[in-house]
Amino acid sequence: MKPSLQLKLSQSLTLTPQLQQSIKLLQLSTLDLNQEIERFLQDNPMLEREDDDAPETFAVKEDGSPAEAPESIPGQDEPASSNESAEPDFDTDNMLGDNYWSEAAGSGKQRDGDDDEFDAHANVARIPTLREHLISQLGLLPLSQRDSALATLVIDALDDDGYLTQPLAEILELIPPELREDLEIDIDDLQIGWQLVRQLEPLGVAAVNLKDCLGLQLKPLVAVEPFGGLALSIVTECLDLLANKDYSKIKKTLKCDDIGLKAAQALIQRLNPHPGAAFGETETRYVVADVVVRKLKQGWVAQLNEAAMPKLRVNQLYANILRQQRDSGAGLGGQLQEAKWLIKNVQQRFETIQRVAQAIVERQQRFFEHGEVAMRPLVLRDIAEELELHESTISRVTTQKYMLTPRGIYEFKYFFGSHVDTDSGGECSAIAIKALLKQLIQNEDPKKPLSDSAIAEVLGKQGINVARRTVAKYREAMQIPPVNQRKSL
């Protein structure tokens, strides 16, 4: 075959570094954006903030309540205290020594040494862990080192809720056979340590199951509560019936009346099925509102949260040096271009966020006026077509971006969802249906709660055609129990 030349036309999309950076910044949350900018500020001398101090961000807690942003770089999802002292591994050689459970149950490292070595973050007050709380109680009891070590072994086997899910025989196997023989430790000794832990606060800790946990909490109440004995009998004999709201069978089994059963049920509901869950450091997660929605004369308007927008500029000192020494500033030239790209992409990011937010607000005016029941159906394609953007761009903009409204703080994605058809030929948002479903259940007769079929019929009378299985799906998504578990005396 003879060699030949051919001309071929083709189209391809090449992602330039600037476009790649723009896409990356667009999908970041505002908190993550601040971290990314801090990295650029450290690596690129041509970039600086317009003010010396980092901008204050309008931060709120994840539940929507206002809060001061952390003093450190916003976006770091860290607990308030960085004193995460690792728990020591089980040292069999030192099990009965002074160091096995020598960790203080206090709330931080003590100041030791010179002032320069003092770590203020390590001394921030924090909630003790369940292990620390229980071991601190052991230290107040007149126990031998042997008994205290065995109790500590049981404490180390508890899960986050305070339950002992591991058999004692398996825990005993953690102790080397030669050490068990030397100290004459058997399953009965470990049983004693387990019973010792079960007497500590909070009551219910070291239980093996829910029935055991509630029973531990009820036993001290039998002598002081009028219906404490009945409540204990219900927990030990009829807990499954109580969970299924089978009150008739409970009354028949325990030979009690409605008054006694209702009082015992109220007492059981006061108990804590997760006694260990209240301990340990709770992590406060912060989000930054990208836009703030306000009602003005012209209607509802989405405005950028200026406090969340980083104010960046090119360092004029280095830029002037670069202009004066063009030949020797090759490295700075690349960093100058990088700084300009970043400033432009950050500005473009917030402009796109504002455009999408305003489009959402205009589509959901009735939501801001009347709440969830007035939510309109909306999909990403609707906003993409209106703004002449790609759906993938809208998807990036609506992920981890938040708007602060008079009704609370919402992620952009909250305003998008599926829909069902109505009798009038219109559409009803799934969020609106969930709100209606929740209202119906809140207003139902607790003695005769509505079934999923009954709820579907009520919605059908309002012109919203939903199947029973759809009602069940929405109800389960909102973590609302079925009809048999909502029934009360």
Question: pLDDT averaged over consecutive 10-residue blocks of the chain (489 residues)?
Answer: 77 74 88 90 87 47 46 37 40 44 35 48 66 92 88 92 92 86 87 93 94 94 92 93 89 92 93 88 73 91 91 85 67 82 92 95 91 88 93 92 92 85 72 89 87 89 86 89 81
pLDDT value at residue 426: 67
State the first-to-last Cα distance of the chain, in angstroms, to the nearest integer.
93
What local confidence, expressed as pLDDT, does residue 83 receive? 40
Strands (E), 284-350: 286-288, 291-296, 299-304, 312-314
Q: What is the DSSP letter of 219?
A: G
Where are the chain's structural domains? 94-197, 210-269, 287-415, 419-486
pLDDT of the residue at 269? 92
Residues 139 and 35: their CA atoms lie apart, in Å, by: 44
Q: CA-to-CA distance for 188 and 180, rounded, in angstroms?
A: 12
Q: What angle do CA 418, 424, 426 make, to 5 degrees?
A: 30
DSSP class of residue 207 equals B
Q: Which two tokens stand for residue 428?
A: 């009803």
Contacts of 44 (CB under 8 A, 6+ apart): 335, 338, 339, 342
User: Contact 200/134 with Cβ under 8 angstroms?
Assistant: yes
In this prediction the pTM is: 0.61
Distance CA 287, CA 280 (A): 22
Token pair, residue 376, equals 């309109």
What pLDDT does 484 receive?
81
Q: Tokens at residue 212, please?
A: 């055991």
pLDDT at position 124? 52
Can you say whether residue 70 is alpha, beta or left, with left for phi > 0 and alpha for psi between -120 and 50 degrees?
beta
pLDDT at 282: 57
Kindly report the backbone phi and psi dihedral angles of residue 89, in degrees, each rounded to the nearest multiple of 5, phi listed first: -65, 160
Q: Which CATH number fits domain 419-486: 1.10.10.60, 1.10.8.640, 1.20.140.10, 3.40.50.720?
A: 1.10.10.60
What's the pLDDT score for residue 373?
86
- Residue whose structure tokens are 């949260």: 305
